[in-house]
Amino acid sequence: MIHLNIGSNLASKYGSKFENISIALNLLIESKIKINKISNFYETPSYPNKNFPNFVNIGLTIDFAGSHHDLLKKIKLIEKKLGRIKTKKK
């Protein structure tokens, strides 16, 4: 069993923070990642800069038959499909 957390603090071209998470869940399922359990949605302040928009988060338990490297590749691909742009931390 693997624990995975998903969060969004910005709307995207796909919709609201909630819709971003729903799309990510569907993309996980399409990627042959078995979702066993999904938590409720939780809203949390942005950290460490509380001036940024609040996050909406969920927790999942999943099963994945491949390696952790394969799982990370799938997750990074989903992030890219949803338009996430990684920037350097300050």
Pairing of strands 55-63, 2-8: antiparallel
What ranges in 3-83 are assigned the alpha helix state H?
Answer: 17-30, 68-81
Contact in structure between 14 and 20 (CB atoms under 8 Å):
yes
Coil, strand or helix: which one is 57? strand
Would you state the CATH architecture of domain 2-81?
2-Layer Sandwich (3.30)
Residue 65, token pair as written in the block: 């038959």
Domain boundaries, given as residue ranges, for the chain = 2-81
Give the number of other Cβ atoms within 10 Å of residue 4's Cβ. Answer: 16
Residue-level pLDDT, tens digit, the chain, 90 residues: 899 999 999 888 899 999 999 999 999 999 989 999 999 999 999 988 889 999 999 999 999 999 999 999 999 999 998 888 777 665
In the chain, what are the helix, strand and coil shares in percent, each to the nearest 5?
Answer: 30, 30, 40
Helix (H) or strand (E) holding 34, with range, is strand 34-38
